[in-house]
Amino acid sequence: MTVLVDDPIWPAHGRLWAHLVSDSDLDELHAFAAAHGVASRAFDRDHYDVPAQSVPRLIAAGAVPVGGKELTRRLIRSGLRVRARDRR
């Protein structure tokens, strides 16, 4: 399993946010997030939203930095992606 994090380019609540995903297993993603202080409420069906200031810490812990397009491609390939239209 690889945990991936993209660039924090998503603005919300006065901050920039990144996405933290797994390319193979949600259980391991949840374990990684919990071990590194990411709140469970940050999980949104197939990813965690993480604030920009957390990204360096998550990379130091083993998350692999990738661009947003690569993150999306790998999430789709994993079969874990939840499409926007299915998020209702």
Q: At residue 73, does pLDDT exceed 80?
A: yes
- What percent of the chain shows pLDDT beyond 90? 89
Please report the DSSP string for 19-70 in residue order: EEEESS-HHHHHHHHHHTT--GGGB-SS-EEEEGGGHHHHHHTTPEE--HHH
CB 18 within 8 Å of CB 71: no
Please tell me the pTM assigned to this model.
0.92
Q: At residue 62, does pLDDT exceed 80?
A: yes
Cα–Cα nearest to 7, from 43, 51, 38: 51
| 5-31 tens-digit pLDDT | 999 999 999 999 999 999 999 999 999
